[in-house]
Every structure is written in C-alpha cells, then in structure tokens.
Amino acid sequence: MRYFDDFKMGEKIVTKGRTITEADIVSFAAFSGDWHQLHTNVEFAKKGPFGERIAHGFLVLSVASGLMGLEGMAIVAFYGMDNVRFVGPTRIGDTIHLEMEVAEKKDKDEKSGVVSLKITVKNQQEKVMAVYIMKLLIEKNEQR
C-alpha cells in the first residue's frame, strides 16, 4: 500500500494498459445517457472528423481512474480534477495506459494529505489521448 509519505515530488508512475472495446462504449452510453452519434452511430461517425466512432471523454477518464486504482494507493477520496484536455481521440481497440507524475503534495490533517498527479493518458502507439491533474486525498501511514 502506498501512503501519502511514500509519494516523492517528481516521481513517475506508469500503469498497466486496458483496451477500449465497443462494449465499453455502448455500456457507457447506456449508463450515462450520452448517446451522442459520434460514439454510437457508425454512419454518422464515418463522416465526422475522426472517420469512425470514438470513446466518450468521460469513459476515458473513468477507465483511467480504474487503472490508477490498481496502483495500490491508500486513497481516502477523490479530491478533484483540474485542466482536463482531450487532445486526441480514443478509438475502439486502443489500449490506454497512464503516465503519472507527482506534481504536488499538501498536508490536509494528521491522517491524510492531498497528492496532485499530472496524468497523461496514452494509447499503444504512445499518442496522447488526454492530460489532466488528478487530486487525491491519500491516507498517511500511522506506523511512521
């Protein structure tokens, strides 16, 4: 388990990958109610700027959150997100991973602190899909 004190400024963490599937996009559309044609209509998307359907931005962020959760952090709560930008389309079949850098650490109280991670979402070709700052409330190790 990685606690607040275990994070070092400038430290870099790379997650495992996860492939975005058509089922992910359809399920996310159903769950979120976002049936925008860019994500769900093959013929409409063919004529659009990407030439095919792409994943919802919030789907990409949700999968990214799941990948981050596999890193064994002692997360107390999601604290916020800043400067979100979707700089490239995430396509069906893309395998995304995160490159995270510890950008800031702030004590919150005696039990936790806020860690800000600069996150870059990349696909299997190392193309950037999204960038943002994720703020997490992380538990302190009481054993120290």
Rounded CA-CA distance 84/134 in Å is: 9
Position 71 pLDDT exceeds 90? no
2 in helix, strand or coil?
strand
Query: Considering the domain boundaries, does residue 74 fall inside one?
Result: yes
Q: Is residue 144 part of a domain?
A: no
Torsion of CA 53, 58, 60, 62, to 10 degrees: -140
* Predicted TM-score (pTM) of this structure: 0.92
72: CATH: 3.10.129.10
Residue 64 has pLDDT above 90, yes or no: yes
Residue 33, in any domain of the structure:
yes
Q: How many domains does the chain have?
A: 1
Amino acid, res. 27: S
Range of the domain at 41: 4-139
Report which of residues 70 and 87 the model is more confident about: 87
Evaluate whether residue 111 is within a structural domain: yes
Q: Look up residue 27 and give its two tokens.
A: 């399920």
